[in-house]
Chain A
């Protein structure tokens, strides 16, 4: 694993999908008028015969994708996470979910990573997709995982929802690290607090763990790229080693990773206290940039440190998060 500040890469997913499609003739690519933004301009240029402009018509796009999957194609469907889940929810349930078809829905720009206002912020996409029976829900952390995710999900039985960061993406893992859809990844072990994170919150969680470790609170970090089906055994084991558990997600605390962890701990009789860090049942307003929203709505490194500090019952002020400065082209969490 690398250390912050992280180098960044662009179009990791797009290159990964294209490499997969060159090997697998069944793969077709649908785009809902966000082709370059979803990195599939690469696919369009290289394999135009298998690239389909659905246009600004998400309901229709999901219906077409279901029918294509029935015929043996493997459709990868691309738009922003909000438009991939909220608007065509009924179509996903009926045309894709219920017949358990292998459609891969790729939703870019998760949570408050967009300054585009609540209409563009996918803060409930994981909650919606988790509720669809048989749907696999993937929230990858970095460019290494993004590069692998198309190949990792192509043969998953039934439908898959993948949320992906848009634009330059930090490189956290080593290139040889495999994306494992069946096992959460234990990155660090400590007996005070367990931080369980999904998606792009990983850099903030690792920085928070550094800060907490330095303050004498040994920290476990469990990275969970697959929120459904959840690797409950790893979650319960991580919780068992710690005094308190924090789930950290760029999503509402209702219905996403935090809810999945709560369900796993409760059903296992864990009894560990859980604090859900994420959007606290709110929409996010007033942004020129995503960093501001992450700070304003409690998704900063300091917010994770503070939540752990309070949950552990420590008195006094919490330690200040140590954040390395990022140069242009690098990424560090806020």
Chain B
């Protein structure tokens, strides 16, 4: 999943706004604890996600992810919900069944478990949507500049940029190493094979990365990198940013008041 250039409202927002907005939403995800409120938050975030015009494949991924998380969380929590009070919806194994019943104390499917599972899965869903909105709608360099303006050190920003730049090549490299192993007869099937492959993958990968890191460091030195920079790229904090942040703050205040000052 990566940045896609489009002309949408969220693409135009200042990265700082998006970072602050995501922090507020992250707080909401934690604070909100009723299925209805989290459902509303998920719907709003999903609408925001659709508004950045993501490709169909991204939408498919998010729906698939949501579906599987929801089903897995509801089923597992339904069976294994531990807190009291709990109300069984139906019984799978009654407690008086011989052996299994005695062993497990009965297997029930609890209503509270279903609700708890739904809440947790919607939290995961909201958090995922939030990060996807930022990644897809913000150019990475702008995002890093935004982080720097919000106070992260220049050198850390540089490390993040270089990581974004070189991570894909690391994946390619690992792939080539695995193929080279295969062609030299190393069996990679099964757990033993995978462990074996991993053992012989790490050494060339690390050594090559160290060599590359040295080359990159020297190249950065001769380009005068010291950790202090005057950047050309600039950010513009517009009216839209103020409005979005204002609404986000207001929502947060409202929620806090509603939850903590009855």
Q: Report if A and B associate in a common complex.
A: no
Measuring CB to CB, which residues of chain A are less than 8 angstroms from any residue of chain B? none
